């Protein structure tokens, strides 16, 4: 018998450096609290905002949230939730200067953002634990946001109070969904003395933005509160055509809301959101005949444009029958449209002629979503039960017409000429209506016994029907699926604030994806996770660590040689380690640290070359660190922030023959605040490191260049 040496996990120097901060984040805060740093006599000139005690949907104090409802649909402390949940609050987003959802969550463990590179269009490209989390994992205020083709929900991060990432299968609460987890975007809503502010922002690539967030009471007893969030954006981007034309983005955003406390036990919140987003659609650079990078784009600056418009409205209703039982119902209607002109190309045998085909996509989506539940608390002897019974219904219907033109002028990649006349596509290639209906019944019991043990158990049954009506030919199809999913978790709540836990969770995802209406078998996933959460009572910090094994069956992906052909590959397993610390390290110092190790592997596939390989774009290691220090002075408070983000190597293809190397990026922030005035300067990719996010389908996807914003804000 041979003696095998154990394999050691070797970390990059940047990752090893980031690892050391976990000791400080886990144990340093307790030392700091025991012997606090002396505070200078100068007082911090801030505007006092009276906010309610932390709720699962309200503002987060500092960087460390204590409560969330995303994982359980109940107001549950994070330390009692037997699954990994990360929360990014408004203060953290502003300190780091986040202007997109991806910027907001890129310091979060288990999450890979911008896997398709820099994208001015506003799509939320991300992976969770190695699985796609763009569409089926997208939620707003606990309700699903569906996408259709190019009609994907666009997130305006200025309209969010917090972002919550639930990692691992979550079908027990939300029904159909991918294996990696859920990203829940929590809207700003009214509360008494909410912030009132106006801000102006300038930045690199001629960025110009103005925004406002204001609200208050409409009557004397404060039973009627309002809030209005608005934003306008006009910006170019780092992407440029060889003729000097810049890619661009324009956005208008309005989100009014109204809260009416009908009685001390009954409230109704009305919410609406209108978003108009116009952007250049040409995000890739063409690969030359020998695989070399060029500065040529296949599209055209006057033609390659996508307009995405979104209008939503809904309500959140709650009534408490007594101290132990409550009724809730959340409803939202959404209409989203996409008008997209784009070009696809192929390089001819001469190595310089780019044959092109122009396309026009016209898509219109309507979605109704409603979630109704009853929550109550009962006691059986010394055992306390928090019960939840609910039903939700979701209907999404979308029309999509795709047209093409065979008269598109070609392009010489050695001497490209842009702004040519491109005929409007007149050949209809696809015209159909897709409909998805979901009805789900769920139940959950959070059982507390012996004071320190908490058993969370839930189950859900879903019926999902998918229809495709082909208006051109014979590709109409219909399929119904039903599934039972569950979750069970056990947590031990030690008196010192340490909470080890173990859980098992399932998910399922009906597959309905390609442009020909092809239906596939549902994907199913299951996960075992074990971890520990540390947050002593009253401590302004929290540390979490988790290990997991997650397996997804009947996986649908795209062929790496044809980005428009889908295939059902079989089984993928993801195993990993995730660490996260968020802390108020001292009265002036805040910090974030995270580490991710993801071992993803294709276990079964109809393509033999995939088996044993790592799925595309999944890095094995990631790490991040952010520190923020505030220095009070007589002329105002100065803040200094800095961060590092490491992303390991990723494979570009299913065969793992091409890969992109790992990279480390630095971010920085400086701000000044005096009374109601604040000025902030934020820089992403401080040292302007060049890197590629991926290289797929004959194109390069570039990483984010150095960019900056200067934000002036006045609060009143």
Q: Give me the numbers of helices (H) and strands (E) for the chain, helices first please.
A: 5, 38
Average pLDDT, integer, range 10-17 = 48
Residue 591 lies in a domain: yes
Which uninterrupted H or E stretch holds 26?
helix 21-34
Strand 181-187, strand 138-140: pairing: parallel
| Whole-number pLDDT of residue 9 | 43
Residue 296 lies in a domain: yes
Alpha-carbon distance 267 to 289, whole Å? Answer: 63
Residue 101 lies in a domain: yes
Q: Residues 444-456: pLDDT tens digits?
A: 999 999 989 999 9
Average pLDDT, integer, range 660-684 = 98
Residue 239 lies in a domain: yes
> Could you give the number of structural domains in the chain?
1
Residue 378 has pLDDT above 60, yes or no: yes
pTM listed for this prediction: 0.90
| Whole-number pLDDT of residue 559 | 60
| Whole-number pLDDT of residue 287 | 87
Residue 46 has pLDDT above 60, yes or no: no
Domain hosting 596: range is 76-715
Residue 33 has pLDDT above 80, yes or no: no
The residues that bridge with 551 in the sheet, in sequence order, are: 526, 573
Average pLDDT, integer, range 105-134 = 94
Residue 542 lies in a domain: yes
What string of DSSP letters covers 531-598? EEEE--TT-SEEEEEEEEEEEEEEEEEEETTEEEEEEEEEEEEEEEEEEEEEEE-SSSEEEEEEEEEE
Structure tokens given for 662: 């790992």
- CA distances from residue 15 to 11, 43, 434, 578 in whole angstroms, order as listed: 6, 37, 45, 13
Residue 27 lies in a domain: no
| Whole-number pLDDT of residue 567 | 72
Average pLDDT, integer, range 8-24 = 47
Residue 90 lies in a domain: yes
The 3 state secondary structure assigned to 258-324 is EEEEEECCEEEEEEEEEEEEEEECCCCEEECCCCCECCCCCCCCCCCEEEEEEEEEEEEEEEECCCC
Q: Residues 238-263: pLDDT tens digits?
A: 999 999 999 999 999 999 999 999 99
| Whole-number pLDDT of residue 561 | 58
Conformational region of residue 698, where left means phi above 0, alpha means psi within -120 to 50, and beta covers everything else: left
Distance of CA 286 to the CA centre of its chain: 28
Residue 710 has pLDDT above 70, yes or no: yes
Q: What is the CATH number of the domain that holds 636?
A: 2.40.170.20
Residue 236 lies in a domain: yes
């Amino acid at each position: 018998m041979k003696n095998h040496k154990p394999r050691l996990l070797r970390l990059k120097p940047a990752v090893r450096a980031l690892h050391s901060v976990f000791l400080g984040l886990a144990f340093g805060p307790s030392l700091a609290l025991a012997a606090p740093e002396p505070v200078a006599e100068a007082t911090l000139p801030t505007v006092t905002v009276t906010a309610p005690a932390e709720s699962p949907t309200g503002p987060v104090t500092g960087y460390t949230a204590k409560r969330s409802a995303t994982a359980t649909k109940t107001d549950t402390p994070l330390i009692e939730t037997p699954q990994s949940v990360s929360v990014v609050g408004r203060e953290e987003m502003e300190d780091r200067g986040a202007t997109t959802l991806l910027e907001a969550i890129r310091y979060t463990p288990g999450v890979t953002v911008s896997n398709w590179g820099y994208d001015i269009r506003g799509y939320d490209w991300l992976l969770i634990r190695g699985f796609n989390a763009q569409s089926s994992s997208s939620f707003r205020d606990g309700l699903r946001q569906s996408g259709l083709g190019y009609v994907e929900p666009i997130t305006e991060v200025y309209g969010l109070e917090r972002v919550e990432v639930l990692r691992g299968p979550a079908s027990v609460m939300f029904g159909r969904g991918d294996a990696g987890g859920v990203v829940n975007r929590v809207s700003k809503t009214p509360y008494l003395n909410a912030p009132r502010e106006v801000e102006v922002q300038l930045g690199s690539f001629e960025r110009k933005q103005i925004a406002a967030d204001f609200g208050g009471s409409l009557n004397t007893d404060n039973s009627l509160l309002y809030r209005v969030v608005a934003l306008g954006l006009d910006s170019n981007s780092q992407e440029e055509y060889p003729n000097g034309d810049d890619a661009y983005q324009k956005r208008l955003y309005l989100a009014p809301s109204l809260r009416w406390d009908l009685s001390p036990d009954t409230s109704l919140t009305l919410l609406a959101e209108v978003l108009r987003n116009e952007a250049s659609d040409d995000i890739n650079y063409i690969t030359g005949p020998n695989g070399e990078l060029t500065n040529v784009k296949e599209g055209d600056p006057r033609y390659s444009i996508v307009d995405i418009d979104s209008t939503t409205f809904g309500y959140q209703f709650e009534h408490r029958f007594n101290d132990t039982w409550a009724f809730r119902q959340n409803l939202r209607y959404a209409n989203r449209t996409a008008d997209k002109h784009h070009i696809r190309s192929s390089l001819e045998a001469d190595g310089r002629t780019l044959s092109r085909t122009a396309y026009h996509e016209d898509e219109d989506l309507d979605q109704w979503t409603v979630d109704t539940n009853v929550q109550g608390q009962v006691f059986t002897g010394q055992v306390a039960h928090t019960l939840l019974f609910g039903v939700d219904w979701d209907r999404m219907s979308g029309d999509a017409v795709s047209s093409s033109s065979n008269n598109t002028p070609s392009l010489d990649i050695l001497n490209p000429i842009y702004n040519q006349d491109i005929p409007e596509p007149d050949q209809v290639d696809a015209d159909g209506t897709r409909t998805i209906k979901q009805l789900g019944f769920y139940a959950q019991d959070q059982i507390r016994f012996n004071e320190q043990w908490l058993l969370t158990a839930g189950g859900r049954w879903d019926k999902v029907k998918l229809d495709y009506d082909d208006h051109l030919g014979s590709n109409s199809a219909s399929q119904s699926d039903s599934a039972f999913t569950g979750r069970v978790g056990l947590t031990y709540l030690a008196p010192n604030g340490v909470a080890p836990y173990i859980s098992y969770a399932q998910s399922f995802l009906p597959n309905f994806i390609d442009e020909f209406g092809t239906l596939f078998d549902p994907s199913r996933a299951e996960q075992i996770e074990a971890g520990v959460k540390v947050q002593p009572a009253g401590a302004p910090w929290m540390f979490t660590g988790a290990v997991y094994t997650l397996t997804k069956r009947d996986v649908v992906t795209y062929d790496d040689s044809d980005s428009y052909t889908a295939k059902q590959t079989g089984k993928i397993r993801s195993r990993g380690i995730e660490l996260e610390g968020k802390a108020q390290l001292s009265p002036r110092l805040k910090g974030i640290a995270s580490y991710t190790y993801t071992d993803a592997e294709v276990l079964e596939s109809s393509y033999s070359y995939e088996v044993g390989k790592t799925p595309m774009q999944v890095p094995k290691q990631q790490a991040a660190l952010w520190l923020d220090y505030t220095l009070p002075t007589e002329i105002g408070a100065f803040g200094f922030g800095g961060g590092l983000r490491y992303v390991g190597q990723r494979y570009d293809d299913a065969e793992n023959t091409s890969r992109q190397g790992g990279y480390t990026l630095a971010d920085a922030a400086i701000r000044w605040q005096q009374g109601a005035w604040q000025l902030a300067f934020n820089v992403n990719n401080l040292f302007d490191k060049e890197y590629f996010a991926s290289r797929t389908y004959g194109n390069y996807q570039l990483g984010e260049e150095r960019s900056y914003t200067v934000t002036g804000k006045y609060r009143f």
